[in-house]
Amino acid sequence: MEKIIEIGTVSSRGQIAIPAGVRRKLGIGDGEKVLFVLEGDILIVKKVQEDMLTGVGIKADEKSKTGNLTAKEIIKILNMHKSEINNYGVKKIGLFGSFAKGKQNEKSDVDILVEFSNASFDNYMGLKLFLEGLFGRSVDLIIEKGLKPELNYIKKEVIYA
C-alpha cells in the first residue's frame, strides 16, 4: 500500500481540509461524502457511496434493537454532539415531524428546528451536513425565526435536546 503523507488544516468549526493530492489519489470530488474512521489516534478517510452512509455516526449502542433510529436516540445523539453543534452558532435545537411522533419509516428524513445565535449561510449548511453525517439520513433543517405562521404548530411538537 502506497503511503502518502501531507498536512491538512482544521478550521475553527472542526472542518478538515483534505490536501488536493490526497483528494485526487482517493478520487474525491467537490461535494462527495467521505467516511471518517478513528482507530486509536489514527484517522482514516475513505471515499464512500451514498448508499453506504446509512447509520454513519451512530454507534451500535445508540441504535435501537431493530436497527431503526428513534426520537430518543436522535435527542441522545444531539446531546452527545452538543459542543460540535454549538460551533455552528446554535442557541437551541430540537426534533419534530415523523420521528418526534414515532411515525417514521426507513425513508423518513430527520426534521430539525434550530435557533441560531449567529445565523449565517455557512453555519446553516455546515450544521445541515454535520447532522446528515451523524444520522446517515437527509435532514430537513428549519430555522425557528423564519417559521411561517401556518407552521407554528411545529413549536408545540418539538422535542428539544
Task: Give yes or no: 122 in active site.
Answer: no
Angle between helices 71-80 and 121-135 (to 10 degrees): 120
Angle at 148 between CA 79 and CA 139, to 5 degrees: 40
How far apart are alpha carbons 20 and 1 in whole angstroms? 19
Task: Give yes or no: 109 in active site.
Answer: yes
User: Does residue 31 contact residue 11 with C-beta atoms inside 8 Å?
Assistant: no
CA terminus-to-terminus distance, the chain: 44
DSSP-based three-state secondary structure for 60: helix
The single residue of 30, 41, 61, 109 carrying the catalytic annotation is: 109
Residues annotated as catalytic are 109, 111
